[in-house]
Chains A and B, each alone.
Chain A
Amino acid sequence: MEGLAEGCVALFVVMDPLGNIPFYLHLVQGMDARERRSTLCTASAFALFLLLLFLFGSRGIFHYLDIQLEHIMVVGGILLVILGFEMMFGSEEHKGVGRDIAVVPLGMPLMAGGGSIATILILSARYGLATPLVCIGVVMVVQYAIYLLAPGILSLLGRNGLRVLGNVAALVAASFGIQILSRGVAGLV
């Protein structure tokens, strides 16, 4: 299937579950294993629903508004560059979070945020429905597994290792954004 590797890697980098592990663990501290698992399930289901909603809903809306592939690529590219900046310079401090974290912020924006939605739109505009669908499935499963194993991964890679990975992900997300943006602009002019 065309663009499958590209889509999976891009979506994974943009969602950045590895870099988000410290934040995730901060969110679920004080929960036992069962609570964590059920929270994770709810969050994943919500994120999946959101991504699929955008994947299927966007096509009709864009068609209706006469928005073309290039327009989506320009906007998505800019969004991804901004996301890269946020991943690199954004604060790691977290605002006070309530008890119920499953939908916000875990489901959105941590799992399904602006960056992943933009990536989904770009993928569906370029490759049709099948590729982004498979990518979403693969990355969501991997992400679920990573969050489930988060404490182990944290002790394996260390806080520093995760920060390094987060910075690499920021670079990759920003350059992916620039690439998409330039293709979009090239298509428009």
Chain B
Amino acid sequence: MLDAAEFVEVAVPLFIIINPLVVLPNFAEMSQQLDNRHCSLLSLRTSVSAFLLLAFFIFIGRPFLDLIGVSTEAFMIACGLLLLSIAMGMLSGSPPTTRNVEFDTTSIVPMSIPLLAGPGSVATAIVLTEAHGAGIVFAALVLSMVLSAFIFDRYRTIMHYMTRNGINAWTRLSSLFFAAIAVRLISEGILLMR
């Protein structure tokens, strides 16, 4: 039922766009004020909320967009624009946030939304679902989220090996990925629309 090659084809882009490593600096900052138990709670909450949002779009996204007459192409363009703006913010080095909310430790903004499950992930999930079906994308999502939770759980070790500079470099590099994915979403959307 589950074709391994197809699964890889779905899981890799999904994991790249979800990109849990980018969230690590935010995560480290928040978890400094927390003891271990709350820290694992935070990691769980972050992963689960991103998982729920993406699962919602995988299963209900298409009919919901149909209801207001939004085509996948239009959705791709809009998500591409929003993702591009997030990527630009990351590239210029400012910490990626959405609304200027005060950080508290119960917050899932900006780590879960829009970093893990942002416009890019949502659009990618919907595009992949149309191409490969909901089941396989959902399986890839589960894998990605388990990996993310694992990465958050071991964030101290990872931060230690990658160092703060390594993570910063990775964030800049990821912002380039994100910008490229955004432009691809926009251009493919425009081309498909014609």
Chain A interfacial positions (CB closer than 8 Å to B): 5-6, 9-10, 13, 81, 84-85, 88-93, 159-160, 163-164, 167-168, 170-172, 174-179, 182
B68 and A89 form a contact (CB under 8 A): no
What 7 pairs between A and B have smallest CB-CB spacing?
Answer: A175-B78, A174-B78, A179-B74, A92-B99, A175-B75, A178-B74, A178-B78
B113 and A163 form a contact (CB under 8 A): yes
Interchain pairs with CB closer than 8 A, number: 92
A160 and B82 form a contact (CB under 8 A): no
**Partner-binding segment picked from B35-43, B100-108, B153-161, B176-184:** B100-108
The minimal Cβ–Cβ distance linking B128 to chain A, given in whole angstroms, is 16
The minimal Cβ–Cβ distance linking B172 to chain A, given in whole angstroms, is 20
Q: Compute how far the CA of A167 lies from the CA of B109 in the bound complex, rounded to whole angstroms.
A: 10
Choose one: A93, A163, A174, A176; the contact of B68 (CB below 8 Å). A176
Residue pairs across A and B with Cβ atoms less than 8 A apart, 5 shown, are: A9-B68, A163-B108, A167-B113, A175-B77, A178-B78
Chain A residues in 8 Å Cβ range of B74:
175-176, 178-179, 182
Q: Considering only CB atoms and an 8 Å cut-off, how many residues of chain B contact the other chain?
A: 33
**Cβ proximity bits B20-64 to A, threshold 8 Å, 1 near / 0 not:** 000000000000000000000000000001000100100000001
A168 and B109 form a contact (CB under 8 A): no
Q: Compute how far the CA of A85 lies from the CA of B82 in the bound complex, rounded to whole angstroms.
A: 7
Choose one: B53, B69, B82; the contact of A174 (CB below 8 Å). B82
B100 and A174 form a contact (CB under 8 A): no
The minimal Cβ–Cβ distance linking A169 to chain B, given in whole angstroms, is 12
Q: Compute how far the CA of A170 lies from the CA of B81 in the bound complex, rounded to whole angstroms.
A: 12
Q: Can you name 7 extra interface pairs (CB under 8 A) apart from A171-B79, A174-B81, A175-B77?
A: A5-B67, A81-B78, A84-B82, A85-B81, A160-B108, A163-B99, A177-B78
Chain B residues in 8 Å Cβ range of A10:
68
B53 and A6 form a contact (CB under 8 A): no
The minimal Cβ–Cβ distance linking A77 to chain B, given in whole angstroms, is 9
The minimal Cβ–Cβ distance linking A142 to chain B, given in whole angstroms, is 15
Taking A163-B113, A164-B108, A175-B79 as contacts, is the C-beta distance between A89 and B49 under 8 angstroms? no
Chain A residues in 8 Å Cβ range of B85:
85, 89
B163 CB-CB contact with A under 8 Å = no
Chain A residues in 8 Å Cβ range of B79:
171, 174-175
